[in-house]
Structure 1
Amino acid sequence: MEPKEILKNKGIKITKGRTEILSILKNSENSLSAEKIYQIYKSNNININLSTVYRTLELFEEKEIIEKITLNDGVFSYKLKGKTHRHHLECDICHKEVEIPCPMLQIQELVQNATGFTLTDHDLVMKGVCKDCKKKQ
């Protein structure tokens, strides 16, 4: 979907700055910090304030267009929301399943930033006992 369509669908006023930030995020394989987005603007001789970048990213996060990821150095990184998969927890005793969002997003970003690897897949195995079975024990 094109940046203008995304903004329109989310009920956000379409501005050049907002469409440019979406385009930058859309064309990036990795998540980007606000400072990196600002640097990309400056390298293309586009005048924008860093505060505008931050405000736009906050708006996009609020409207669930992007995901905000905390990296190990306390810096936030942003990426377009994509298809997110989920994981299942299964109780070892009663076999009840609980679906949870994937907790690996932050780890994937840390790995990518530290190693340059773009992860294509991961496996996450967690085992446990549900609260109901825990009470019975």
Structure 2
Amino acid sequence: MQASIGDNTQQVMHSQTSQPQGLSKEEVRELLDQLKEIVRDSLMPESFKKKAESRLESVIHEVEEEETDKQLVGGNLKRVAEVFEDAGKAVESGTNLLGKVEPIFRKLLGWLGLAKGFFGFC
């Protein structure tokens, strides 16, 4: 952003994000596999686990398509994030669970080209 003040003065502001946008499909798949492992190893109730695993499978299938629809992936990942949030509210260890998944969701934000906060807890 640039703003001109007077005749000769300019102020230049740059905004940078720390979100990696150049993730390969293989790297995205590894991140999704990490999320699946966190779900499996978590103490969240079985109903939440099943819901999260099902939604993650939908994301994985779309990522593996030749032409990945990132908008669809983003929407489905948002639904996965909501399961983590709901599980976090339901169980005491939820704070720890969100702490484990937040860095993964942050990495995926950049790849999807989404704004910080899209998933709610990131």
TM-score, normalization by structure 2: 0.29
TM-score, normalization by structure 1: 0.27
Structure of larger gyration radius: 1
Larger proportion of helix: 2
Larger proportion of strand: 1
